[in-house]
Every structure is written in structure tokens, then in C-alpha cells.
Chain A
């Protein structure tokens, strides 16, 4: 792989992901609207929202500290990094080795910690509440995520997404029960981490239930826009990770321009399916009480660990 081509691929993918992320959000909302017999908003609604937010004047609480203003940028940066690492279109990107799955989880953790801190900065009761709940969800989701990733890592003998995807993509087809467990666990973590039903509801502002929204209540205008965008990228990244792990077929090796269209097409198809599925889940499930969230997530953790054990039993 020529280095230049690699770099080009890297940049291309990052930019593409960042730009395409809101689209996925829009698609999920649309599907959900359809499923709920509502007249669906435009697919591009998220873009309009972002644009409008960017134009507004930022309103910041008087006693907010620098941390409050830096955080949106940090979040955005973390997510961009994640987008650069996950093999969305192609494997073997030059920057991919900079962070393996553990580091990837680390990136998300970093983002979470910053958003929680920012939430507590102004010192309203809502901010604290949101931060607390977010961390509560996080401390269970994170290990579960790691364990699912470890299962894949054990199968491929590596913690680098690139290698994992390579091995999983170009292997003769075989059923991995461990991967099945891991997949379920991953799905649960995805729901929790991206503030979806049944853990959280991105569209609510009901103080009893809201988690993520409670944290960003104080944000407005460009800061809010960056955060929303980061959230979109996060969702996109998670979905693509899931795809890369559990249905990695059709992905192109970096620098292989010919494989690119096919890869893009495959990706689009998978994303569409995934988005629809997500919407379906959100429609079918009801929101859980907050204190059922730990049970939900510990189930995910348990499944992930089980998957790992099954892997070891399978190989002897």
C-alpha cells in the first residue's frame, strides 16, 4: 500500500464519516417516524438543525468556567479520532494502529468524562443529575464493550480493529457462538452508549428520565451544534464498529481504489439496514426505569463475558 494513497484514504474516510454521520441520525428518525405512523421529517433535518444552531449567538451561564467552553470541541475531536480509526470503508489505514480497541474505548470514555464534567460546571441540579446518571450507565457499558471487543480480539489474536476485520472478513464462513453472544451484548451497549431507548430517550426533556439531555441543558448555539454533531458521529462510529465486527464482508483494503465503490455500496446498504433495525428496536421497546439500566447493562456485560468463555471452551 503506497503511503500517500493510505493517507488519502484516511482523510477521505474521516471526512466522509464526519459528514455522513448526521445522515444516519436523520435516517433513523425517519424510519422511526414511519414505524410510528407519523409523517416523517426530512432526511436532511439534522443538517438544517446544525446550520441553524451555528448561526445563533451562544448564551453561556455567568459562572461557567473555561472547561465548559472547551468541552464541545474536545467531544468533537474525540469522535473525529474514533471515526478515523474504525475501518468504515477500508482496512489498514495508516493512523489506525494509533489506537486499538482498548484505546477506542478510552476515547469514548474521555468524551464521556468531559461531557459529565461540563455538565457539572454550571452547578445546576440538572447538570449534576445528568452527569451522575451518565457515569452510572458508562461504568457498566464500558467494561461490557471491552469484553465484546476482547471476544473478537481473541478470535483474531489481535486488538487492532484492522487486523480483526481482516481476519473476520477473509475467513472461510464458520458459525462462532461466541460472536453471537458478543453481538447481542454489543447491541445492548450501543443502545445504552448512544442514549437510545430503552436506556435513554434522545427526544425527551422529562427530568425523571432524561440522562444525556440533562447534561447539555446549558449549551446553546455552536457549542450545542458541535455536541449534537459529535453525538451523531458517535452513533455512526458505533454502528460501523458493529458492522466491522459482525458483518465485515465487502470492506476494501486501504489504497485499493477499485474496491472502493463496492465497499461504499456495501456500507450504505448495511447502514440503512442497521438504522432501520435501530428504529424498529426503539419503537418496540419501552423505556426502562433508571434503576433497571444497571440490570440491563450487567446483562450485556454477562453476555460478553459468556461469549468470551464460550470461545475458550470452543477452542479447548
Chain B
């Protein structure tokens, strides 16, 4: 097994680990840091793939990742929670251990799903597709169990990370134009989320989404 792919696998494992950490994490601030780290891991893996395969556009995408997911978005989120004074996110819908168990089950499911596909992959990062899928599902789970707006958004962004990782690992990255477009969407999305936090805050003077359960059938 070439060194590069071992590195990638290592990073993939790291990514998954971070995903689990985020799932179990209570403090928003730490959550943001974890998110940043995840972005870093993603960027690193992209870089390695780029280096080992010589796909130039992967360099751009790595740079983009660093710029966006390691620096810009975490910074924005930081500013936001400073302005909104929401530092704690104690309660989740299901208690942490259960969440973890479900998460593990999901990971196994994702792996079993990905194995047949990875078999046919000719990339040096074949085994990582499962991990990518797992991290996507884990972030999904995180969005489900979190009660506050900010962690939900972070979950969403983490999901994007997983997707990017899948792109790079499985297919040496999407065409650049697509990556740019996706990045743009993510960026705009983040800003809109930011705007929302303020609106929600001024309407409900809290970011607890339990206030937003008025629209329903009865």
C-alpha cells in the first residue's frame, strides 16, 4: 500500500473521529474548533491526493477548503456567537451515549454500503468512501439531535465537509467549476444563516429552535 493512501486513510479516520467528537460535543465553541479541524483534515487529505496524483485543480480545491472551512466560516461563527452570547448548548434531544451508539450503527451501515463500491474504485483512496458516507450520515444525525440553531448549522457544514471528502477521495475531486459553485453556495448559505441568527434572536430572544414549532397541523 503506497504511503499516500495510508496517509489519506489516516486522515479519513481522523475525519470520522472528529465527526464522532462533534456528535458528542456539548460546547458550541469546541464544536466550532472541531469543525475547523475537520476542515483542516479535509484540506490535508485533498493536498495529499493532489500531490500523489498531480491533479492540479485539487490544489485549488485544497486552498479553497482552507480558506473557507478552516478560516472564514469558523471566524464568522465565532463572531456570531460572541455577538449573540450563546456559548452553551447543554441539552440534546437524546442523551449522548445513545446518540453515540446510533452513530456507530450508522458508521457500520455506511461501511457495508460502501464496500461493494470501493471494490471497483481504482483510486488510491478506495476505502475512504465509506468513511465519507459515514461522516455525512453522522452530521445528519447531529442536526437531528441538536436543539439550538447554531449547532444545527455546524452540523450542516460538517455534512458539506463529508461530501467534499467523498468527492476528493472517491473521484479525485469534482470538476473545478462545480467545486467553485458548491463553495459559493456554502459561503452564501453561511451568511444567510448568519442573518437568520439575528432575526431569530430578535424575534424569539433565544436561538432555541423549540420556539419555532408554531407552524403545524392540529
Report if A and B touch in the complex (beta carbons < 8 A).
Answer: no
Give residues in B with beta carbon < 8 Å to A: none
What residues make up the interface of A, taking CB atoms closer than 8 Å to B?
none
